[in-house]
Chain A
């Protein structure tokens, strides 16, 4: 989710300031340097060094860093797509040229900062303020307050200490060392008062917010459930009422709905729709053929794994076998068994129907020889068909898995 500062940035500066949003382990502080580096396509180290150098030579680095951190907006790439508002920065042709350009910019800024910052605020103000700002950045950048991670804690505490040091230094340098303790005491007192007053309110607001969020999530879940049931179960129920006289249609509808609901409930193919697995593909295939030809297909799968092109070929052959069995065998049910083993992949399609003699199948019926046997041969596997008149039929598909 985007945080509020991002929204602010988008409103004022538009997409030109967008940089990639980085994961926590990619950032050192606010992730500004790393984000710029990623965006431009160079290593992060020189950018980081440039910020440090610019800071040490007059403080502009810190100002730049802080403003970049505040004004940058992030575009999310997590879902594999870049938001439409995002305009990528044109990149120089070769990495060497990019590096060169980068160093030139750094050098220019360096010179500029020496020039600019000899006037203006003096060291007595600049350094303590820089220190405090840096500490603040450090403390805030810990993001989610995850106190169990020692690194996060260290960062937050270190940041706060730096802020305190900055404040003390500011007072000591500008008003003399003698007033520093008193001033610090007053500041601390005022601050604690604010904390005492504000903290409970903040706490309540935060818990209210999370409670509301939880409620909304629940409501969303309910709505999704209702929508799903409406699209699937209720539709089917009304269809069944309309065709209650036709037993075949009713049974078919009920079975299809049962499969769908079960798939949804047990989540077998929910996440697997992008990259279908062997199991999900076989189950879908069974459901498809059952729906098309009105013959129940019992699918049993053992083991699972990703589908590659060869496995897909085997699936194509299995489909042909299923369709043959459903259309020609006259069996009340077709069994399909798939096994995804470590060395090979096997699919069996079996019916207890009327069976046939292979030599009696006419030449022009290409289903068996081309779609099943030929397809398996081309995929580097084999197919065998076992059938006799009156004895049903079983098509066995075997595909060795080539180990890379």
Chain B
């Protein structure tokens, strides 16, 4: 069955490009170019996956996710943005993954499938951002459950950053693909729930705010 998706990007050309790249293998049920119309389109069409641009007129990607209180849709951030803080923000708002627009159609389809199934999607770049953010030592009230990555999670993220796919990681670490997926999901959860102020401090230090 084809996945029902909505494209949210303020550039008409980008939407057209993504649509033609995905072709007949998904069903594009709606498109939107800003925050307000994105919210109404997603509420009306109830897609499975929303491809969400990080930067949007009227409040950026996180505003779309926060504006939708009751939706079964899962979000995959898609952006050319290099700014780590923006990426981390959209993930913290609830996106299940982040891929760059340089991604191939095949990889994008795979990512959509993965997100629709409830998995996390880490591009090498996102893995790098997360490793970098968590590498800072927490200063105040560290909650090891949320504020630190386990050694295994770090291992998985490093391999993701090195360009490995889930299957290759599973093979390399002699664990199952399911376990790799659960590690990735755990990292995503930590990123979303952790109150580490370091995430923003880290971004500030890099002059990204």
Contacts and interface: CB of A to CB of B under 8 A. Distances in A.
A302 B162 contact: no
Given A266-B208, A335-B162, A300 B125 contact: yes
A205 B79 CA distance: 49
A394 B163 CA distance: 10
Contacts of A337: 124, 128, 158, 161-163
B169 to A, nearest CB: 12
A301 interface: yes
Interface in A291-305: 296, 298, 300-303
Contacts of A123: none
A394 B162 contact: yes
B135 interface: yes
B187 to A, nearest CB: 14
A302 B163 contact: no
A321 to B, nearest CB: 13
A302 B131 contact: yes
Interface in A321-373: 332-333, 335, 337, 339, 348, 350, 352
Nearest to A335: B163
A255 B131 CA distance: 25
A267 interface: yes
Contact of A302 (B132, B164, B208): B132
Interface in B162-185: 162-164
A266 B84 CA distance: 10
Nearest to A270: B207
User: How many B residues touch the partner, as a band?
Assistant: 10 to 19
Contact of B158 (A255, A339, A352): A339
A258 B80 CA distance: 9
A348 B162 contact: yes
Nearest to A331: B163
A262 B124 contact: no
Interface string A139-151: 0000000000000
A302 B128 contact: yes
A302 B82 contact: no
Given A296-B102, A298-B125, A350 B131 contact: no
Contacts of A258: 80
B195 interface: no
A220 B69 CA distance: 46
A301 B80 CA distance: 17
5 cross-chain pairs, A with B, having the tightest CB-CB distances, nearest first: A335-B163, A300-B128, A337-B162, A348-B162, A302-B131
Interface of B: 80, 82-83, 102, 104, 124-125, 127-128, 131-132, 135, 158, 161-164, 207-208
Interface of A: 255, 258, 262, 266-267, 296, 298, 300-303, 332-333, 335, 337, 339, 348, 350, 352, 394
Given A258-B80, A350-B163, 11 more contacts: A298-B125, A300-B161, A301-B128, A302-B128, A302-B161, A335-B124, A337-B161, A337-B163, A339-B158, A350-B162, A350-B164
11 contacts: A266-B82, A266-B208, A296-B102, A298-B102, A300-B161, A302-B128, A302-B132, A303-B135, A335-B162, A337-B163, A348-B162
